[in-house]
Structure 1
Amino acid sequence: MTATLLFSFLFAITILTLTPGFDTALVLRTTAAQGWRRATATAFGVTLGCLVWGVAVGFGLGALLLASEIAYNLLKWMGAAYLLCLGIRLLLNPRAQAQNEAAGETGQQSYLSCFSRGLLGNMLNPKVGVFYVTFLPQFIPAGASVPLWCSLMALTHMAIGLVWNAALIGGSHFFAAHLRRPAVLKVMDRLTGMVFIGFAAKLALSRR
């Protein structure tokens, strides 16, 4: 029974990880604009957000989003505002040239900034918490420790996410020379900005 639940969870979480979303757009854009090292920091931030949500759900904090409409809406609007700011910034101020990792340019964002962007983008999305609180319990064996299993499943999700992001970064790095052309970079920034604004609107209009 436990093995069946485990394989079912791995199949479902892998499909969900491969589904494009905000995290995919953010990692791809960071790879093209700032290189694979900072994209890796962003990917760690995104996946760590999944782990934090999983642990929170395991200890019952995620249930608060289901029980309290005020808590859900507060986090929802904070997340939508954050995504909207990111999107508007990319639309109004697209990069004219890629930042060179090896050159160490002063305009280059720090690894901590890239990591924080990925982490906040995930943590400020209450739908992740609601998803975890409704999804993870389906795969917990009867009588098992809920905090332990939720944490382990979230850690598994994080590991799968890191592998998938590594594939995305590697693929983008292969085409880096083309993606870093000024004209292409501007188009990518503006398209990514529109995607972020779309995610912000989707989040703001979402219901539990």
Structure 2
Amino acid sequence: MELSTWLAFFAASWAISISPGAGAVAAMSAGLNHGFARGYFMTLGLVLGIWTQVLVVGLGLGALIATSSLAFAIVKWLGVAYLVYLGIKQWRAPAEPMVAEVDGGAGLVPRRTLVLRGWMVNAVNPKGTVFLLAVVPQFLDLARPLAGQYAVIAATLGFTDLVVMGVYTLLAARVLRLLKSARQLRLMNRTFGSLFVAAGGLLAFFKRA
């Protein structure tokens, strides 16, 4: 990949990461409920989900998902179900912050669970597959080996997401410090729960191009 081509993709990847979506909601929700240090593990999962999408597209499976009605429907409804599940879970979360390191962190959501949740948000999302299928080929040089170019694309998307989602997580964690009453915490939980369900609803209406 030429430097000029990579710079163009680097600029595009910032726009991709900053644009609001289920990933941003997940990152902010993690920061709100777990603070920055623990909540950032959600971002690591989101990046692994992006890399999974790039791998799927690179192996040609993305085209199968985009063109097969059955495969597309399976992935889409898995994504919808998972986002709605997260929304209901967040809505019903107790009205108390979960960042206090009590008894060495006993009772807190394990970091690996946050990573898995983040991975699921991005990996089971056909919108990401279709988007990468539409965007990535514009930056590929078909006369050169594709594996290295896909690796660069994955690393670039991973870097921008680590930064952007980290900022979302940090901002939400700062907001957490301002929330003192159970009523405020309940309102925030229900707000993010509603956002997850809304993201799932939007995904349900998403169709193949």
Q: TM-score, normalised by structure 2?
A: 0.91
CA gap of 1:4–1:95, structure 2 versus 1, over 3 A, is same
- Unaligned stretches of 5+ residues in structure 2: none
- 1:150 CA drift (Å): 1.9
Is the CA contact 1:98–1:182 (under 8 Å) kept in the aligned structure 2? no
Q: Secondary structure at the match of 1:62?
A: helix
State the one-letter code of the partner of 1:144.
R
How far 1:38 moved relative to its partner?
2.2
The match for 1:127 is 127
User: Tell me, what secondary structure is at the counterpart of 1:173?
Assistant: helix
* 1:146 positional shift: 2.3
Alpha-carbon distance between aligned partners in 2 of 1:29 and 1:58, rounded to the nearest angstrom = 31
Give the corresponding residue for 1:194. 194
After superposition, the C-alpha distances for 1:82-125 in whole angstroms (9 at most, x for unaligned) are 1111112222x132111134214543111011111110111111
Which piece of structure 1 moves more, 115-124 or 149-158?
Answer: 149-158
Post-superposition Cα deviations, 1:9-38, rounded to whole Å, max 9, x if no partner, equal 111111111111111111111112112122
Amino acid in structure 1 at the alignment position of 2:197: I
Residue of structure 2 in register with 1:10 after alignment: 10
1:54 corresponding residue in structure 2: 54
- State whether residues 27 and 165 of structure 1, in contact with CA within 8 Å, keep that contact through their aligned partners in structure 2: yes
Report the CA distance between 1:2 and its aligned residue: 2.2
Contact 1:58/1:148 (CA < 8 Å) preserved in 2?
no
- TM-score normalised according to structure 1 size: 0.92
Q: Distance in 1 between matches of 2:46 and 2:122?
A: 6
- State the shift of 1:4 in Å: 2.7
Distance 1:127 1:100 in 2: 32
Provide closer, same or farther for how the CA distance between residues 179 and 32 of structure 1 changes in structure 2, counting only shifts above 3 A.
Answer: farther
The whole-number CA distance in structure 2 between the counterparts of 1:102 and 1:85 is 26
Change (3 A) 1:108 1:185: same
The answer to whether the 8 A contact 1:54-1:154 is kept is yes
CA RMSD of aligned residues (A): 1.8
Q: Secondary structure at the match of 1:35?
A: helix
Cα–Cα, structure 1 residues 79 and 195, in superposed 2: closer, same or farther, change >3 Å? same
Aligned to 1:39: 39
1:174, distance to aligned residue in structure 2 (A): 3.4
Partner secondary structure for residue 61 of structure 2? coil
8 Å contact 1:87–1:192 — kept in the other structure?
Answer: yes
CA gap of 1:45–1:96, structure 2 versus 1, over 3 A, is same
Deviations 1:151-194 (A, max 9, x none): 32022101111011222233333343214642222111101111
Unaligned runs of 5+ in 1: none
